[in-house]
Amino acid sequence: MSIAFLFSGQGAQYAGMGKELYQAYSEVKEAIDEAGEILGLDMAALCFDEDERLHWTPYTQPAILAFSYGLDQLLKNKGIAPNMAAGLSLGEYSALVSAGVLSYEDAVMLVHQRGTFMEEAVPEGKGAMAAVMGADNALIESICNQVSKQHYVQPANYNMPGQVSIAGEAEGVEEASRMLEEQGAKRVVPLKVSGPFHTQLLKPAADKLEAELKKYEFKPYTIPVYGNTTATAFKSTEDIQRLLVQQVMSPVRFDDMIRNMIQDEATTFVELGPGKTLSRFVKKIDLSANVMNVENEKTLTKTLESLTK
């Protein structure tokens, strides 16, 4: 059995995430408390209470990272270690921490800065995203190209067969959504996000992130980490830094990434962090994959029972 850890991305957060495990396990408590100390705020309250800041990108990203890292440490202390790792967008940083590339302390500050750059890149209301269900990738790409002649829009997330997110200028996303529905897409759903992530509109954020990344130490990885932009394993620490910059303004190729991990003999995927969106994606990509998630006591118990037989 070859285990792959998958780490949640932005959008998976919810009030109360991690509270049950925070109260029961020191690994989760320490990770969340330490993130709060680094950023000078009460991270536990941010995660557990009805706090609108949980949905502000500069805070969302370290909050999800903190919870994910706590789960990573908890499973490893229970004797469950990954053979490879990956994450969705923000989750890529959690995967790099799991693989020893970035220190947890550095990653908390780095994703806070990343979130700040992303939020500043496009004025509120100017950008949008939408999930397109039941349309061919080639059709989505063709329509985005057509619409972009007036209002910029592009595929942003290739999540799984039959689901692609598009993002760009609000007018472009609206027009592409209308055309896709007219040409047979089953559904197009606007997404509640603060910006057109993973598009060229985020280049100002990518430029700032490139300068910021130079301040941090990247160590050799202990396990392969698969990147969103190329869908393959990172080759070097220089490769990682370059692709983290690209990732902010390039489509996430989650579907291809999972297929490559399976080709490289991943048999069991464990999603760590809030929600089970990635688990659902993996099942749609390959029905034979063994998939589980950990976000509370119930899912932790189920995962431990399955992996420690």
The CATH number of residue 215's host domain is 3.40.366.10
| 238 backbone dihedrals φ, ψ, rounded to 5° | -65, -40
Q: Is the pLDDT of residue 194 over 80?
A: no
User: What does the pLDDT read at residue 37?
Assistant: 98
Mean pLDDT of the chain: 96
In DSSP terms, 125 is beta-bridged to: none
CATH code for position 151: 3.30.70.250
User: What does the pLDDT read at residue 28?
Assistant: 98
Domain final position from 193, 221, 249:
193
Q: Is the pLDDT of residue 309 over 80?
A: no
* Average of per-residue pLDDT across 137-154: 97
Question: 89 an active-site residue?
Answer: yes
224 and 303: one domain? yes
User: What does the pLDDT read at residue 98?
Assistant: 98
How does DSSP assign 100-121, residue by residue?
Answer: TSS-HHHHHHHHHHHHHHHHHH
12 and 106: one domain? yes
Q: What is the span of the domain harbouring residue 273?
A: 3-121+201-307
108 and 229: one domain? yes
Q: For the segment 37-60, what is each residue's pLDDT rounded down to a tens digit?
A: 999 999 999 999 999 999 999 999
182 and 273: one domain? no
Q: For the segment 3-36, what is each residue's pLDDT rounded down to a tens digit?
A: 999 999 998 999 999 999 999 999 999 999 999 9
**Strand order across the 225-226 sheet:** 225-226, 84-87, 3-7, 268-272, 290-294
Q: Would you say 54 and 191 are in contact if contact means Cβ atoms under 8 Å apart?
A: no
132 and 256: one domain? no
141 and 277: one domain? no
Q: Is the pLDDT of residue 71 over 80?
A: yes
Q: Is the pLDDT of residue 195 over 90?
A: no
7 and 97: one domain? yes
User: What does the pLDDT read at residue 259?
Assistant: 98
Number of structural domains found in the chain: 2
Catalytic residue among 8, 98, 177, 198: 198
166 and 233: one domain? no
Domain final position from 144, 173, 193:
193
Q: Is the pLDDT of residue 115 over 80?
A: yes
Question: 8 an active-site residue?
Answer: no
Q: CB-based burial of residue 157 (10 Å sphere; 0-12 exposed, 13-18 middle, 19+ buried)?
A: buried
111 and 208: one domain? yes
Please give the structure tokens belonging to residue 193: 């996000």
CA 194 – CA 188 distance, rounded (Å): 18
216 and 71: one domain? yes
272 and 213: one domain? yes
Q: Is the pLDDT of residue 203 over 80?
A: yes
26 and 174: one domain? no
Catalytic residue among 89, 94, 250, 279: 89
Q: How confident is the model at residue 193 (pLDDT cuts 50, 70, 90)?
A: confident
Q: How confident is the model at residue 151 (pLDDT cuts 50, 70, 90)?
A: very high
Query: What amino acid occupies position 271?
Result: E
Task: Record the pTM.
Answer: 0.95
Domain final position from 172, 193, 214:
193
